Structures are given as structure tokens and as C-alpha cells.
Structure 1
Amino acid sequence: MKFISWNIDSLNAALTSDSNRAHMTRDVFETIRKEDPNVIALQETKLPQTGLSKKHKEKLEEFFPEYNYVHVNSSEGARKSYAGCMTLYKKELEVNSNFPFIDAPEPMDLEGRIVTLEFDDFYFTQVYTPNAGNELIRLPLRQVWDQKYADYLSKLDKEKAVIAAGDFNVAHKEIDLAHPDNNHMSAGFTDEEREGFTNLLNRGFIDTFRHINGDVEGKYTWWAQRVKTSKINNSGWRIDYFLVSDRIKEKVKRSDIIDSGDRQDHTPIVMEIEF
């Protein structure tokens, strides 16, 4: 099976806007379609709390006619048109979907951050991990989230093998960003966040990119939009991951980063696994 994960930074805009950035996003849709994945996980959809409009649905059918989809948006008590996740899956697949609350600090559970699909032999779950924020204002809450999320994955793992994908908002090791020395106090590379990710892996999960590719350098999944030369100079971070239960790591055949061209921010990642 083939899985793709992407923090799209506004599916809403991609489906409704005529901006240059929206066109670039739709170009990436074509790249994804050529990969022909079984499952596509999208984070930071930024859809309205009222749900999908008629136009949203029409455009999704236009771009992804072979897929059904489930999604979760921010709900009352959280910022409107914020965060959100959507998982698309081939229409021939039979799945059960869930949108769990993990007892995270308020209002994180209301922000639409997790979608889980149950297959016969495994769970596929995607996550949009909360950012620690400017001046690390949300770091203490982020640390609680990391613990609660690790507990959630461990609970799933006791029932079936787990594939966990998404934007984890952390560069785990110095090799995972271009300028580690300058960023030890930056959101996404604090000691606390890195320790949280280490603790998650220690619960029985594998970073598939490192498992397949070893210590290859200069491979990133995010480049800052506000710095126009960040992607040109490959001044990036690897903060998007496919994790799998340790017991199925040898089934992983590919874990890679997809080229999104000139479009900055996140780029999609892909994983292939044999079941």
C-alpha cells in the first residue's frame, strides 16, 4: 500500500481560491495523483466549522474522483477555520473512521488534529501536532500534548499495528534541519519537544525515513514561507513523518519526500509498505 501525507496549509484556499499559491497547490495535487496512493492524509485544511460547501465537494470530486474522504475541522471553542485534517482513501477500501479526543489541554482537542482509520490489520492515523508558538508560549501545553498523543498511539498499538503520519512540528535531531545551532530555542527544536518525540519513538515506533534512508543529510519537508530564499538555499526542516509500529518496520519498502517544485512551506511525504 502507498500512503501520502501533506500539511497543505489550507485545503480551503486550494479548492476555492484563484491565487498563484492556490494554483501551485493544485499543481502538487497532480504530482500526488501520479503517485496513485491508496491513502492521502492532509493536515491544516483550514475548512470552515460549518463543514464542506458545495464548491468544496465539487472540487474534491474533480481533483480526487477515485477517493472517498473523512475530515475533522475546528469546532466551537477553538479558532474558526483553523487546523483541521482530511484523509482521502481509495473507494474500494473498507475502513472505519474515528476522530479521537486524547484529553489534551484545551482547546487542542477541539482544533481538529487527529483522524484515524481502522483497517483489518492496522490503524492509519494522521496528526497535526500543535506548534509551541511564538516565544514558546504554548510549549508547556505542547509537552502535555506529546504525552497524551504517545499514550493514544500506544493504546492503538496494543490492538493492531499502527501507521502514524503527519506534521509532528518537531525536527528530531540536528541532522533534521539546516541550521541546528541557531534554533535550540526555536519552536520545533527545543530540547523539550525533541525529548517528547524521542519518548514517542521509545514507546515502540520507528521513524521510517531514517529506517530506510539512514543518516542522509539535507532532506527536509518544510521551508519558511516568509524567507523567500529558504527553499532555494535548502534552509529547511524535516518535521513531517511516517512512523510505524516497530514490529512492522521490515514491511516498509519506501519512505521519501516528494518534490513540490517552487511552492514553499510543507512538501508531501510518501511511504510504501507491504501487507
Structure 2
Amino acid sequence: MKIVAWNVSGLRSCVSKGCVDYLLRENADIICLSEVKCRSEEEVPVQMRLSNYHTYWNVEKGKPGVGLLTKVKPLKVSFDLPEPFSDEKRLINAEYNKFFLVCCYVVNAGRGLKTLDKRLKWNKIFDEYIKDLDKKKPVIIAGDLNVAHNEIDLANPKSNHKTAGFTKEERDGFTKFLSYGFIDTFRELYPDQTGAYTFWSYMRNSRAKNVGWRLDYFIVSKRFMTKVKDNVIRSSVRGSDHCPIVLYLKV
């Protein structure tokens, strides 16, 4: 099984830059898209009506929005976290026979950390939500988690300790979440790999210089790690300020 996760940073723009060609080539079993920025399902580009996929969109004007395309129809699909995040359009939870797949776009702490408190509140509710799912069957979390966990996960750690995505609060929150029995699959497979990023600012030619951040993850329940065969960062794929990541499973 192959799963793709990609923050497309505006689906209409990403489609205009050729993202559908990539998705067709990748031919994944499941596609998780975040920050699609569509005001309604009717605004989703027709090019995204890929054959052989069941599609689910959680979108609304002014909200980040997420989308799920899956060849195997889930047993059940639900949307968003409990209050106060029940209408944030940040999450799709698809239940399959052997696992839950949670496609998500986590709250960004914001410029000047103006939404850090909201992010920390999200963490608390999200953690409990995932722990409850994990009691029933293993969980796969796919998407932009808006945190670079350790210094190895961004190009310039020393100058970013007070920047959204690398504050002590966000990093400690991620460490705490993993301690509940979850694994960062990329870092488990490649503990010492440097220069492995999934996001680059459009400023200062950052992508060409590989001055980036690893913000996009596949997290799995610890007991499910034996099913994980690889996690690949498709850093050469353009269309967004993020690149796709691909999880290979033997289920």
C-alpha cells in the first residue's frame, strides 16, 4: 500500500502547476491533501476527479481545508476534532479494516506566535482524540503537523527558536505526543539523515539552496511500525511550497 500526503498550499494553484500529473504517476492507494483553500466542494478543480478514487473534502471559505482520495472505500469517514475545533476544516478521519487514517493540517502558531495558545489547545484535544482512536485499532497520521521536531529537521535551528514551528512549546508538545506510543516514521527509518525537508519559503531562493523545514509527517502507532517499509520525501516535485511525502506499507 502506498499513501501520499501533500500540503498543496492552494489546490487550484497546485493543479495549474501540474500536480495532477504527479498524482497520476505516483498512483497511490490513498492521497491526503492539506491546505487546499477551496471555498466549497464545487470549487475543487475538475481535474481532481480522478478515476478509481472515492473522494472526501472538508472545505469552507476562509478555512485551510483538507481532502482525501482513496481507492478503497473506508468503513466510515468523519471530520474535524471536538469543540472548539469542530468547524476548522483541518481533519478527515477515515476508518479502514486494519487502521484509522487521519489526514490533517495542524494549527500554525502564526507570525509573532500570535496563535501559539490556539496551537497548544489544539495539541491537547488532538492528543486525546488520537489516543482514543488508538485504543480501537492502529492509527496513521498524515499531513502538515507544523512543527520541526528537532534541530536536524530544519536548516537554521539556532535562529528559529522563537519562530512558529520550532518553539520549545511546540517541540515539547510533539515529544509528549510521541511518548503516548506513536512513531515518526521518517526519523525512525532515517535517524541521522540531514537536509531532509518538506517545506521551503518562497523567499531568498530557499528551495534551490535547500534551506528548509521538515513539517510534514507520517506518524503511526508504535505497534504498526512493523508494517512500514519506507517513507520517501519527493523533494523534486513542485507545485507548492511543500513537497509530497510517500509512505509504503505492507498491510
State TM-score, norm by structure 1. 0.87
Q: Does 1:65 align with 2:51?
A: yes
Distance 1:58 1:252 in 2: 33
Structure 1 spans left out of the alignment, 5+ residues: 16-21, 75-79
Distance 1:86 1:263 in 2: 17
CA drift at 1:81: 3.5
CA drift at 1:228: 4.0
Provide the residue aligned with 1:19 in structure 2: none
Equivalent residue runs for 1:1-275 within 5 Å: 1-15=1-15, 22-23=16-17, 26=18, 28-48=19-39, 50-53=40-43, 56=44, 58-61=46-49, 64-74=50-60, 80-90=61-71, 92-104=72-84, 108-225=85-202, 227-261=203-237, 263=239, 265-275=241-251
Render the CA deviation track for 1:50-83: whole Å, top value 9, x for unaligned. Answer: 4324xx363222xx22211101113xxxxx3330
Distance 1:81 1:66 in 2: 30
Distance 1:170 1:256 in 2: 18
State TM-score, norm by structure 2. 0.94
For the 8 Å contact 1:260–1:268, the answer to whether it is kept is no
CA drift at 1:193: 0.3
- Give the CA RMSD over aligned residues: 1.6
CA drift at 1:242: 0.1
Distance 1:136 1:94 in 2: 37
Amino acid at match of 2:228: V
Structure 2 spans left out of the alignment, 5+ residues: none
Q: Provide the aligned length of Structure 1 versus Structure 2.
A: 251
